Structure 1
């Protein structure tokens, strides 16, 4: 083993994304003075000997660093790193390439554990240079992907994905492909590519293996949130609602379940209530937080369009009642999205109705045919001149 497998099992714990999520939550105004959360994070930092990370946390959250804690953590870090460097030197002089790789991975794992990003990347690169097996190379790359996610370093995630994609072409096994696709999905969420993220997440529902990154319940949360936004209504039913694994997981999350089902079943008042809960959920999630305004706006547009598209016209009073909001709110919302070109309707102030504006599809098709025909004729004329010459 199995030194390699033991090393892999130990390293899979780090980086712990729950720590990054806890730090992110404390960065939000509503939690910045939460003493219980502060104590929880500080206790973890001390227990895990996270000297470098303590300095990052203190700077980012505006904490006053405690000199005693800093000194104790630095001493522990220095002692452990000296021990790991000695093991590396011994492996380089006396042992095999595999032992050298394991020694570098041990150092990378400890640096990752204590939150030293740059030195972790350096140690992982040194381990990679001494790695032969494809599976071990992929594990190394996956580690870097998680490190990028922990620090929300999108550039590191992107570089790691590119490297991982090249390795995949060499013939990775089933589990490695699943892990790669899941990491790619997380990167897609981070860069607001919810369509690709949905495709990858839905495909992984029955084969999810990356429990070292997040719990299955959190994986389902991301799958549903992305899918409701990115999928058409018929595909939401096919890929999410009728999926037995998702149904079972949602049994323990009534908010997410009602959010998914209410929009599909046109229960707009309940949907709006759950959307407010989802907004809080997204705002407190470090991966989704940068997109929460965009997400909520797009889901409102999707719900409005779903209701309006089924009628030639809808009374503003009726629509307000369906969503459980005031008439003024609905009129202002819909007007805003119409002006932005996001909803193809018009508001009739006289009758207080929102009127469906049919798309001139035939006209658009006709224009496209004429344009393509002109291009074809031009090419024929050019070809004719060439033949004549």
Structure 2
């Protein structure tokens, strides 16, 4: 799926809408709008497997004609892609063109939301450049975050950190990896490691396919408040120019951070209540990465209030 520079990966936008669609705190009127947008996205990208599973779980209405039409288009497209691969193998041999043909098939499976990882492995086998191999792993990670499949995320992360980085890799991809790994750590409650990885990436952030820079700053401040000692919090967060430029855009976050550091606990608890209720035009528990840990995260905030020296 094509992603414009600076734009969030469309599958992750869809994943967020699916999360809201199943959330009990989202009102029915909003869910009607979300359901229409989800149906449109699923149809546009021929996500037959997802459409079938959503229909089976009664999230979307069952429409056999639409599902059959999707499957027909998928079969036709796979045949075209296989024909291109066969032509490249017969007439061009081991070449970049053959690799691009396999890549096109991999990206097609990703577009329709299928976990056909064997095609990505085949494409990797045809890939020589380390940077291109790393990009294939990033595609796998995006698929993992779409499904919130941590088994699908952890193994590729290990591969990127070890084998591929030993072979090389440019600084931009290495910095992107820190954000991916930070998001994984935050999603699995390793807030300290997440904070360190996010802070290392604060001045080099380019990972807009995951989320906006404002959201990245929000995650950075959140995990840092939980994890850092008072001195480090001051140096790395409170006075950080990159954070200061955007923290005012995020409702109540500046008040929350600074009142905690300044020991202004009345203001802190006021901001705490507002901030946990209003993030991203909704409650913090409407964040799909944080919602499973909402109670634990708030508890850690309370602990941090009394443990920061």
Aligned to 1:99: 97
Aligned equivalents of 1:172, 1:42: Cα separation in 2: 39
2:55 is equivalent to residue 58 of structure 1: yes
The 8 Å contact of residues 8 and 208 in structure 2, kept in 1 or not, is answered as no
Flag as ranges the 4+ runs of structure 1 deviating above 4 A.
Answer: 7-10, 12-15
The 8 Å contact of residues 22 and 37 in structure 1, kept in 2 or not, is answered as yes
Matches within 5 A, 1:232-247: 232-247=229-244
Find 1:283's aligned residue among 274, 282, 285. 285
Aligned to 1:88: 85
The 8 Å contact of residues 50 and 114 in structure 1, kept in 2 or not, is answered as yes
Matches within 5 A, 1:292-311: 292-305=294-307
CA deviations on 1:35-81 (whole Å, 9 max, x unpaired) are: 11111211221222222222233345643322232122222222222
Aligned to 1:254: 251
> What is the root-mean-square deviation of aligned Cα atoms in Å?
2.3
1:107 deviates by 1.2
Aligned to 2:106: 108
1:32 deviates by 7.1
Aligned equivalents of 1:64, 1:16: Cα separation in 2: 21
Aligned to 1:26: 21
Aligned equivalents of 2:210, 2:239: Cα separation in 1: 26
Find 2:126's aligned residue among 121, 125, 130. 130
The 8 Å contact of residues 251 and 275 in structure 2, kept in 1 or not, is answered as no
Matches within 5 A, 1:1-389: 16-31=11-26, 33=28, 34-60=31-57, 62-95=59-92, 96-117=94-115, 119=116, 121-165=117-161, 166-280=163-277, 281-305=283-307
Aligned equivalents of 1:97, 1:252: Cα separation in 2: 49
Decide which structure has the larger Cα Rg and report it.
1
1:305 deviates by 4.7
Distance 1:254-1:283 versus aligned 2 partners, 3 A rule: closer
1:13 deviates by 7.2
* Secondary structure, counterpart of 2:298 in structure 1: helix
1:14 deviates by 5.1
- Which one is further off, 161-170 or 199-208? 161-170
CA deviations on 1:348-377 (whole Å, 9 max, x unpaired) are: xxxxxxxxxxxxxxxxxxxxxxxxxxxxxx
Distance 1:195-1:275 versus aligned 2 partners, 3 A rule: same
Aligned equivalents of 1:32, 1:49: Cα separation in 2: 28
| Structure 2 stretches lacking a partner, 5+ long | 278-282
Residues matched between the structures, number? 299
Aligned equivalents of 2:225, 2:204: Cα separation in 1: 21
The 8 Å contact of residues 26 and 32 in structure 1, kept in 2 or not, is answered as no
1:159 deviates by 0.6
Distance 1:101-1:257 versus aligned 2 partners, 3 A rule: same
Distance 1:223-1:90 versus aligned 2 partners, 3 A rule: same
Distance 1:94-1:182 versus aligned 2 partners, 3 A rule: same
The 8 Å contact of residues 14 and 113 in structure 1, kept in 2 or not, is answered as no
Aligned to 2:280: none
Aligned equivalents of 1:60, 1:113: Cα separation in 2: 22
Aligned equivalents of 2:135, 2:57: Cα separation in 1: 30
Aligned equivalents of 2:193, 2:274: Cα separation in 1: 25
- Which one is further off, 53-62 or 223-232? 53-62
